[in-house]
Structure 1
Amino acid sequence: MKQSSYLNHVLSVVIFSPMIGIVDDFYLNLLDWSARNAVAVALGANLFMWNAQTGSIEHLIELSDQQDYISAVQFSQDGFYLAVGLSSNAIELWDVEAQRLLRTLNGHTNRVGSISWNSHICSSGARSGIIMHSDVRVAEHQQGSVHAHLEEICGLRWNPDGKYLASGGNDNQLHFWPQSVSGRPRPIHTFTDHMAGIKAISWCPFQRNVVASGGGTADRTVRLWNIATGSMLSCTDTKSQVCGLLWNEEYRELVSAHGYSNYEVNLWKYPNMSKIGELRGHTARILNIALSPDGSTVMTASGDETLRSWSLFPLGKGGKKRSPGNGSGASNVKDTSILSQLHNLR
């Protein structure tokens, strides 16, 4: 493998260390980067926000029950709201700007390890194998649920246009669901090729029918799928547990983050999946990975209790730098419909 020359100059910057209390659990999703350039990271019963523009860190959440812990975080698409899944089965919805808890979404019977937004619908996956869809604007938030997996759901991702939902579980199954969240929908496709739990799922931003998935320690593969045809496009042995996947649209590359035994960040060229480079710095498995709104920087959270920033994709290759809040279809106007029913919820 010949590593791209610019990767030889990529350095990782430690943003937060030590991250005391981070739950070293493959099945959880503890890191997200918002369209408004804020990073949320969960450390046990606490949640911290890092402002990528100013470098400031704020302590947003401290759970009153220290036996409880945060098991999933996901910003809404506009970045104004944050959904926080708990080991105590609930989901808290926070107003990020006001730093205020808006409401609590109940309905799960086990810890919530994965969350994905589709406009005002907050979809969540639990250890029970159930996906619950919540309309956060209304008092009776549950719009539907489905027993999607036989074991814990550890990966959950709506595609960019909100037409399909991908779910991965510890039952080694990858499902693709239709847009409708009511009733009891059946998956459009089910793939059983992975040999371990599927946490890493990422939709390709420039090939709308293509999605990447990665398997755990017993699998170690990254697979590309075409959901229009229901076919597998490629299978790549990464030789390490796959903990996260991200696409960069400008460079047309896929980033993978790994656990046992390499603890690396790897880059792959689409569509032939040739390895471009390997980046090291962590001394324990990478638990989660997130991409900046301008697409230039990757953030990794690890069991070595560090949060690292990697400037992988120099800006300007294909156009202007996007300002925070204008990437990924995000709006600069706060969706107040989420707040409009708040007085009815208390």
Structure 2
Amino acid sequence: MAHFGFENDIHSILKLDMPITNAPMARWQRKASSSSAPALNGLSPGKSINVSLNSSKTPSKTPGKNKKQTPSKMGGDRFIPIRNSKQMDVASFLLTKENEPVETNNSAQSSENQKAWSVMLNGYNIDDAKILHIGGKSLNAPEGYQNNLKVLYSQSATPASVKKTRYISSTPDRILDAPELRNDFYLNLLDWSSRNTLAVALHNSVYLWNASQGDIILLMKLEREEDYVSSLSWTKEGSYLAIGTSDCNVQLWDVENQKRLRSMAGHTARVGSLSWNEHVLSSGSRSGHIQHHDVRVADHHICTLTSHSQEVCGLQWSPDGRYLASGGNDNLVYVWPRVQQGSVSNARQSVCSWSEHQGAVKALAWCPWQPNILASGGGTSDRHIRIWNVNSSSCLTSFDTQSQISSLVFAPNYKELVSAHGYAHNNVVIWKYPSLTKVAELNGHEDRVLSLTLSPDKSTIATMAGDETIRLWKSFELDPEKKKAKERRGISTSSVIHQSIR
């Protein structure tokens, strides 16, 4: 049995050395046949054609040697396992013929000749040959066919992809002269009411400027010349104005009747910051104390917050009334909970406290569309805008503005943040929120900008500076193209309107 198996193995090896007649041509055989293709150029139908597809040379194998064969010496094409020999003959012939120039007059006759030649070559019709054919007209798409991929590669700009640029004027709409304006970084002497009235403190007096009509009235004046107004804050309805003074008092005024309703004592130093939350008025003092007042009752004092060790120069209630943010000259930022009757002790515990700033924190602003987001700005030693998440007590963004920050406000019309600066830039900058990329710079003040406030329609900001001027910038109009068209026509908006606040 073993001997019989050995004979079978010898027999199979001998068969491998015999020519393989039914296998596809090797690559060297196809090259040999293609070299004879020019001889076919002079043939014409009717003559007998004898093309030999075999050669006397066959690839040799040497038993016992592990010699790697190149693909050119291997039998057949291992990448395309099925190859019809008739297709290869016709393809080789057609590729040779199509490289020759064809006269236009004999194009029809040439096509017929090619068909006749292909039939003679092993009786194969080129119309049935499945080969790659480059040339000719592309096929038309079926009627009603739509290619959805055209949308991806369309070069025409769609309305959604067109970038709309906003025009922001580099000059203010109006300049108000404010003589005897106190150039003190820690004071808050400017506020704009929901009834479109701007309140300005000039030394020991408070003036009201009606932004709709341009009328100016003197609301109050302190009795003693050495005293001065140190802070202002409108109620949400815009009918009452709270005034902090250097003699440690907080006054409440009925603006419509120009009458002082009450004066609330309790602080031991000047009141430099004020903020309303419905009927509760919060006041920050130079002593570092914050007091809550219920203005509806005679016994107005609710509680006192004593965490700051230096002057409280920034004070802002959140739009939803849940939190009070305070900033001081001790470089600290605190967030306090809402004051509720019967839970005074809880109000004295801060929700968050941050010490990352390296300068006085006067600039505070709550985001109107994200009530848990607070922005704060540091003084000359810090110069950073920091964005805080009150819920997580984390700092989301910290950005160096390279200039002292005196005030911050969010502009909801375009979801931007506006900052007022002192040394060294003395300007106003509009930032895109939350990326804090610079949108525009508003220059023109000749001294440090002390405060800024936003108009009730959120289209205009008023800035107060140490150069004793108040400038109004219409930087957030919802249709700024109208103003740009007016300036092109030379209408009065191109010239700044000057007016004195008193």
Scaled by the length of structure 2, what TM-score is found? 0.61
8 Å CA contact 1:199, 1:215 repeated in 2: yes
Q: Does 1:15 align with 2:175?
A: yes
Which aligned pairs between 1:1-346 and structure 2 lie closer than 5 A? 6-7=167-168, 9-17=169-177, 19-180=178-339, 182-183=344-345, 185-316=348-479
Structure 2 residues without counterparts, runs of 5 or longer: 1-164, 481-502
**Aligned residue identity for 2:381:** A
> What whole-Å deviation, never above 9, does each CA across 1:92-111 have from its counterpart, x for those lacking one?
10001111100001110000
Alpha carbons 1:10, 1:311 under 8 Å: kept: no
C-alpha separation between the residues in 1 aligned to 2:271 and 2:461?
25
What is the CA distance between 1:16 and its match in structure 2? 1.8
Report the AA paired with residue 117 of structure 1: W
1:327 is matched with which residue?
Answer: none
Contact 1:11 1:311 in 2 (8 A): no
Check whether the contact 1:243–1:287 (CA below 8 A) recurs between aligned residues: yes
Aligned partner letter, 2:252: L
Q: Is the CA contact 1:244–1:289 (under 8 Å) kept in the aligned structure 2?
A: yes
**2:47 is matched with which residue?**
none
Deviations 1:65-105 (A, max 9, x none): 01000000000111010000000000010001111100001
1:315 CA displacement = 2.4
TM-score (norm 1): 0.88
Partner amino acid, structure 2, of 1:170: N
Distance in 2, Cα, partners of 1:22 & 1:250: 30
SS at match of 1:288: strand
Counterpart of 2:158? none
The Cα shift of 1:11 comes to: 2.0
Whether the 8 Å contact between 2:174 and 2:473 is mirrored in structure 1 is: no
1:113 counterpart SS class: strand
Q: What is the one-letter code of the residue matched to 2:172?
A: S
Deviation per CA, 1:145-191: give whole Å up to 9, x if none.
11130000000000001100000000000000011262361111100
Match of 1:243, SS state, is strand
Larger helix proportion, structure 1 or 2? Answer: 2
- State the Cα distance separating 1:5 from its structure 2 match: 5.3
Moved over 6 A (4+): none
> 2:333 is aligned with what amino acid?
L
CA–CA distance in structure 2, aligned partners of residues 120 and 91 of structure 1: 14
Please name the residue that 2:29 is paired with. Answer: none
Secondary structure of 2:167's aligned partner:
helix
Letter paired with 2:438 = K
Q: Secondary structure at the match of 1:109?
A: coil
SS of match in other structure, 2:219: strand
How far the C-alpha of 1:316 sits from its partner, in A, is: 4.9
Aligned residues of 2:413 and 2:459 also touching (Cα < 8 A): no
**Alpha-carbon contact 2:182-2:202 (below 8 Å) kept:** yes
In the aligned structure 2, how far is the partner of 1:301 from the partner of 1:214? 17
Contact 2:336 2:352 in 1 (8 A): yes
Letter matched to residue 32 of structure 1: D
Deviation, structure 1 residue 206: 0.8
Structure 1 residue matching 2:396: 3-state secondary structure = strand
Q: Percent identity at matched positions?
A: 48
Shift of 1:13: 3.4
Q: Deviations over 1:285-314 (max 9, x none)?
A: 111100000000000111000011000101
C-alpha RMSD over aligned residues: 1.2
Once the two structures are TM-superposed, the CA of residue 15 in structure 1 deviates from its matched residue by 3.5
Structure-2 separation of matches of 1:248 and 1:40: 20
| Cα separation, 2, equivalents of 1:165 and 1:5 | 34
Unpaired runs of 5+ residues, structure 1, are 318-346
**CA displacement at 1:260 relative to structure 2:** 0.8
1:321 is matched with which residue?
Answer: none
**The residue matched to 2:233 in structure 1 has which SS?**
strand
Secondary structure of residue in 2 paired with 1:53: coil
SS of residue in 1 equivalent to 2:410: strand
Distance 2:461 2:352 in 1: 30
Quick one: distance in 1 between partners of 2:429 and 2:307?
30
Greater strand share, structure number: 1
Q: Secondary structure at the match of 1:15?
A: strand
1:6 maps to a residue whose letter is Y
